[in-house]
Amino acid sequence: MPSPGSNMVGTLQAVTIANPNTTLLDIARRFDLGYHEITEANPAVSPWTPSLGTKIIIPTQFILPPGPYEGIVINIPQRRLFYFVQQSDDELPKVITFPISISRAGWKTPLGKTRLVAKHRDPAWIVPATIHKEHVRDGETDFPTYFPPGPDNPMGMLALQTGFSQIFIHGTNRPWGVGMRTSHGCLHLYPEDAAYLFPRVPPGTPIRIINQPTTVGIQDDVLYMSSGEPVSEYANKQSPANRAVAALFPYTHKKAAKTVVHREIDWQRVFAVAKAHRYLPLPITRGTPDAEQILQSMDPTPYIYEPYDSSANNAVPPLGELLCTGSCWLFK
pLDDT one-digit tens code per residue, 74-112: 999 999 999 999 877 777 889 999 999 999 998 999 999
Position 261 pLDDT exceeds 70:
no
* pLDDT tier for residue 326 given thresholds of 50, 70 and 90: very low
Position 175 pLDDT exceeds 50:
yes
CA distances from 135 to 45, 144, 166 (A): 32, 10, 18
Positive or negative: CA dihedral 30, 34, 40, 46: positive
pLDDT in tens, 202-253: 999 999 999 999 999 999 989 999 999 999 899 777 888 999 999 998 888 7
Q: pLDDT value at position 270?
A: 95
Does residue 90 lie within any of the structural domains? no
The domain containing residue 252 runs over which residues? 214-297
In this prediction, what percent of the chain has a pLDDT beyond 70?
93
Position 53 pLDDT exceeds 80:
yes
Q: Is 139 exposed, middle or buried (0-12, 13-18, 19+ CB in 10 A)?
A: exposed
Position 54 pLDDT exceeds 60:
yes
One-letter amino acid for residue 179 of the chain: G
pLDDT in tens, 16-35: 999 999 999 999 999 999 99
pLDDT in tens, 265-293: 999 999 999 999 889 999 999 999 988 89
Does residue 176 lie within any of the structural domains? no
Domains identified in the chain, total number = 1
Ranges 64-68, 142-146, 153-157, 266-270: which has the least confidence? 142-146
Q: Which residues are 118's β-sheet partners?
A: 161
Average pLDDT rounded to a whole number, residues 123-139: 86
Higher pLDDT, 293 or 144: 293
Position 322 pLDDT exceeds 90:
no
Provide the annotated active-site residues.
170, 186
Q: Which residues are 160's β-sheet partners?
A: 119, 169
Does residue 285 lie within any of the structural domains? yes
Catalogue the E-assigned strands of 168-279. 168-170, 181-183, 187-188, 206-210, 214-219, 222-227
Does residue 328 lie within any of the structural domains? no
Position 51 pLDDT exceeds 50:
yes
Max Cα-Cα span within the chain: 63
The SS3 assignment for 36 reads helix
Does residue 96 lie within any of the structural domains? no
Ranges 26-40, 127-141, 146-160: which has the least confidence? 127-141
Neighbours of 245 (CB within 10 A): 17
Q: pLDDT value at position 257?
A: 53
Q: pLDDT value at position 136?
A: 85
Does residue 253 lie within any of the structural domains? yes
Q: pLDDT value at position 328?
A: 38
Q: pLDDT value at position 146?
A: 87
Does residue 40 lie within any of the structural domains? no
Q: pLDDT value at position 329?
A: 38
For 275, which DSSP code?
H
Does residue 241 lie within any of the structural domains? yes
Q: pLDDT value at position 171?
A: 96
Instruction: Supply the mean pLDDT for the chain.
Output: 89
C-alpha span between 46 and 215 (Å, rounded) = 27
Closest CA to 35 of 185, 183, 180: 180
Position 40 pLDDT exceeds 80:
yes
Position 152 pLDDT exceeds 60:
yes
